[in-house]
Amino acid sequence: MDTTTDQPHAEDLVKICHLMYQRGFIASSEGNVSLRLGPDRLLVTPRGVHKGFLRADQVVLTDLSGHQLGGELPPSSELQVHLLAYQERPDVAAVIHAHPTMAIACSLAGISLTDGILPEVITGLGAIPTAPYSTPGTKEAAEAIRFFIHRFDAIILARHGSVTVGKDLLEAYSKLEMLEHSAHILSVAHLLGPVSPLPPEEVARLRSAGGHTDVPLIPPPHLTS
């Protein structure tokens, strides 16, 4: 890693990791964060390091094919998820994979965040789909988000966690906060009683206000098997 030019970016990445840990979006060495520096350079968190105590000098530099260019520690085992997001979304410059408690709980309980219930989610994100389960740390785990990453900036990974993307680290982190906050609200609402979605015409109005177009939320059958 070029300590002159990359150090400030590494420090920003570390701040996001510390904030994720403090907010309970990850525990111990869970989760991973990356930041695209240019056409073919990527800062990413290292494997097996407690994110609440991560240091800038532990951050890893790779290219967009996953080859390590700098850093003494190996990159995150979930690097393939980040690489796929960047390859499929040229507009994305930051990717966060976290393990937010309520979002995971919703995926376990079959509570969908795509039903047009919360106005802020519809306006801000369009929807928050849930990708089918795949073994963490595998190529299949990356492929699980391919169908959704073109259309959505926040995705729940069934039984596992979440992926959020943005034009910078703060935007990707803010979408993580929105995802988990929404999951918390819906979890509590389902405990209190039946939850009714907004009328379709209101959902369409909110989606239009947020600049979102109607897109499919259910992947093809071969992706859910």
78 has catalytic annotation: yes
What gap in Å lies between CA 137 and CA 160, rounded to an integer? 11
What gap in Å lies between CA 69 and CA 63, rounded to an integer? 7
Q: Output the six-digit token pair for 85.
A: 């997001």
Which residues sit opposite 95 in a β-bridge? 34, 165
Residue 77 Cα to chain centre, angstroms: 15
Closest CA to 35 of 45, 25, 27: 45
- Among residues 78, 140, 201, 202, the one annotated as catalytic is 78
Task: Give residue for tokens 């959902």.
Answer: 203
Closest CA to 74 of 97, 48, 56, 106: 48
Q: Report the relative pairing of strands 154-157 and 130-131 from DSSP bridges.
A: parallel
What gap in Å lies between CA 120 and CA 65, rounded to an integer? 36
Helices then strands (H, E): number in the chain? 8, 8
What gap in Å lies between CA 197 and CA 193, rounded to an integer? 13
Known catalytic residues are 78
